[in-house]
Amino acid sequence: MQYKWKAFIVVSLSLFVMVMDASALNVILPKIAEDFAVSLGVVSWVTIIGGLAVSSTLLPLGKLADITGRRKIQLLGMSLFALGAIICFFSSNISLLLSGRIVGSIGASMLQAVTMAIVLAVFPDNEKGRGLGMITFAVGVGGIAGPLVGSQVTEFFGWRYIFLIMFFPTAIGFILANYILKDELIGSSSKERIKFDFKGAIYSALFIILIILNISNPFSISYSSFFYWLIWIVSISLIYLFIRSQTKSKNPMFDLRLFSSWRFSFAILARLFGFTSNGPFWFIIPFYSTIVLKYSVGMTGILIFLNALGMSLAGSIGGRLSDKFGTLKFILSGLSLLTTTWILFVIAGNDPPLIYILSISFINGISNGLWMAPNTSETLEKISPSHHGLISAFNALIRNIGSVFGISISTILITSILISYGLNVQIGELINGSDSELKILSEAMNYSFILSASFGVIAIILSIVGRLKEK
C-alpha cells in the first residue's frame, strides 16, 4: 500500500471517531441529564464547553504543530481524546463529565489542527483535492454512524458505553500512527529554533471564547443589556491586542501577511459565509421536521442520515474531480446547490410530500460535499507548507465560528418573529402548538431559510471576486 493511503487511514480514523463522538453526543444528552438529575440547560454545557475548548485552542495548536512536528501533535491529540473518553465513561457527576469533555476536546483540537496538513503533505500536488475530498467522506461517515451507534448503544447498554466505544478505535489509531507517521514524510518540525508566541495564543484564545459565547448566548443575556455589549467591547479590545502583538512579534503565532493574498482572504470569507449558510441545517431543520412537518424522531433521523450520506458521496467524488477540472467550478456548484436547497425549503409549504423533503436533505449534503474540499484547497493554494498546520487549524476555526453564527442568527430571527406575534416561547415549546401557532412558526422558519440562502449567495460572490482580484 502506498504511504499516502497509510497516512490517510490514520488521520481519517481519528477524524471519523471525533465526528462520530460529536454527533452521538446530541442523542445521549437527555439520558445524561436524567442520570445526573440536571436540567437540559446544564447538560447542554457538555456540548458548549467542548466547542469552546476546541475553538480556543485550534490556532495555537496549529502553530505548535508547524513548529514541533505534526506527528507529535497527532499522537498527543489521540492520547488526550482517549483519556477524555475514559474520564467521561467513569464520571460520577456532571462536573467530572465536563472535565472529561474538556480534555477530550483539546485532543480533538489537536487532531483537527494537523489532519488537513498531513493529507496535503502526503498527497502529490495533482491529488490534493482527492485527499481533502476523502477527508470530507470520512466526516460524512462519522456523521452517519454517530446517531445510529449512539441511539442503539444507549438503549441496550447505557450512554457511558458510547465513550468506551470511542476509546478503542482511538487507541488502535494511536498504535497505527506511532508506527506509520514519519515526520520527514508528513511535515517535519521547523529546522529553525522558533519561540512559541504565548502572548498571541492567550489573546486569540480569550477573544475566540468571548465571541463564541456572545454569538451563541448560552446564558440568554438580554441583547440590550450593558453586560452583553461590555463583552463585545472586551472581545474587540482583545482582537486589537492580538493584531498588535502579531505585527510586532518576530515569530508571530499567526502571520497576518497571509491576508495579503486576495485568493486566500476571499476563500476564507467565502468559507465563513458558506458555513454560516449551512449551520442552521443541523439545528433548525430537526425542529422544522418534528414540529412543523410533524415527522417522527425516526424519520427526522433518516433525513439527517441522507444529508450525511450525500456529503460523503459528493466529498469523495468532488475532491478528485476538482484536481482535474479546477476548484472554482465545484465551489460555485456546491454553494449554488446549497443556496437552492434553502429556497426549496421555503416553497415546500406545510404539507410537502415526504420524498420532496428527503430529496432536499440529500441534495444539501451533496452541496456541502462539493464545495468544502475545493474551498480548503483554495485557502492553501498559495500558502507555504510551513504554514499548513496553522491554516488547517484556521480553516477548522472558521467552520466552527460560521456554524455557530448561522445557528445563532437564525434562532434570533425566528424567536424575534414569534415574539412579534405574541408568542414569547422557545422553538421546542411549540411541539404541541395550535395550527395558528405552527403557521407562525413555519413563516418564521421560512424567513430564516431565506436568510441562509442570502449567506450562500454572499459566499458565491466572494468566491468569484477572489479569483477576479487575483487576476
Q: How many CB atoms sit inside 10 A of residue 469's CB?
A: 12
Q: What is the DSSP string of 287-352?
A: HIIIIIS---HHHHHHHHHHHHHHHHHHHHHHHHHHHHH-HHHHHHHHHHHHHHHHHHHHTT-SS-
pLDDT of residue 41: 66
Q: 3-state SS string over 3-27?
A: HHHHHHHHHHHHHHHHHHHHHHHHH
The answer to whether residue 337 scores a pLDDT higher than 60 is: yes
Cell of 61: 495548536
Whole-number pLDDT of residue 78: 94
Cβ atoms of 129 and 317 closer than 8 Å = no
The C-alpha cell that represents 163 in the structure block: 465513550
User: Is residue 252 pLDDT above 80, yes or no?
Assistant: yes
Q: Which helix (H) or strand (E) holds 385?
A: none
Residue 43 pLDDT class (50, 70, 90 cuts): confident
Among the residue ranges 25-34, 86-95, 202-211, the one predicted with the least confidence is 25-34
- For residue 390, the one-letter residue type is L
323 or 450: which carries more pLDDT confidence?
A: 450
> CB neighbours (10 Å) of residue 168?
12
Residue 389 and residue 65 in contact, taking contact as beta carbons nearer than 8 Å: yes
Q: Reply yes or no on whether the pLDDT at 190 is more than 60.
A: no
Check if the beta carbon of residue 378 is closer than 8 Å to that of residue 267: yes
3-state percent breakdown (helix, strand, coil) of the chain, nearest 5: 85, 0, 15
Between 36 and 428, the more confident residue is: 36
pTM over 0.85: yes
Which of 3.40.630.30, 2.130.10.10, 1.20.58.1290, 1.20.1250.20 is the CATH number of 1-186? 1.20.1250.20
C-alpha cell at 451: 436568510
pLDDT tens for each residue of 121-153: 888 878 878 888 888 888 888 888 887 888 788
CATH 1.20.1250.20 segments of the chain:
1-186, 254-471
State what percent of residues in the chain have pLDDT above 90.
Answer: 35
Residue 194, CB-side half-sphere exposure with 13 Å CA sphere:
20
C-beta of residue 73 within 8 angstroms of C-beta of residue 65: yes
Distance from C-alpha of 304 to C-alpha of 84, rounded to nearest angstrom = 27
Asked whether the beta carbons of 160 and 202 are under 8 A apart, the reply is no
pLDDT above 70 (res 459): yes
Mean pLDDT of 319-345: 90
Nearest to 362 by CA among 293, 410, 314: 314
- What pLDDT was estimated at residue 366? 94
Q: What is the pLDDT of residue 336?
A: 96
CATH fold group of domain 254-471: Growth Hormone; Chain: A; (1.20.1250)
Q: What is the pLDDT of residue 363?
A: 96
Residue 21: all three cell numbers together: 463522538
Residue 331: pLDDT band with limits 50, 70, 90:
very high
Among the ranges given (281-295, 362-376, 450-464), the one the predictor scored with the smallest mean pLDDT: 281-295
Q: Is the pLDDT of residue 22 over 90?
A: no
What angle do the packed helices 388-420 and 262-278 form, to 10 degrees?
Answer: 40
C-alpha cell at 224: 440590550
Using CA atoms, how far apart are residues 69 and 189, in angstroms rounded to an integer?
A: 4
Digit-coded pLDDT (tens) for 45-89: 888 888 889 989 999 998 888 888 889 999 999 999 999 999 999
Contact between residue 449 and residue 347 where contact means Cβ atoms under 8 Å apart:
no
Question: Which residue is it, cell 508506527?
Answer: 179
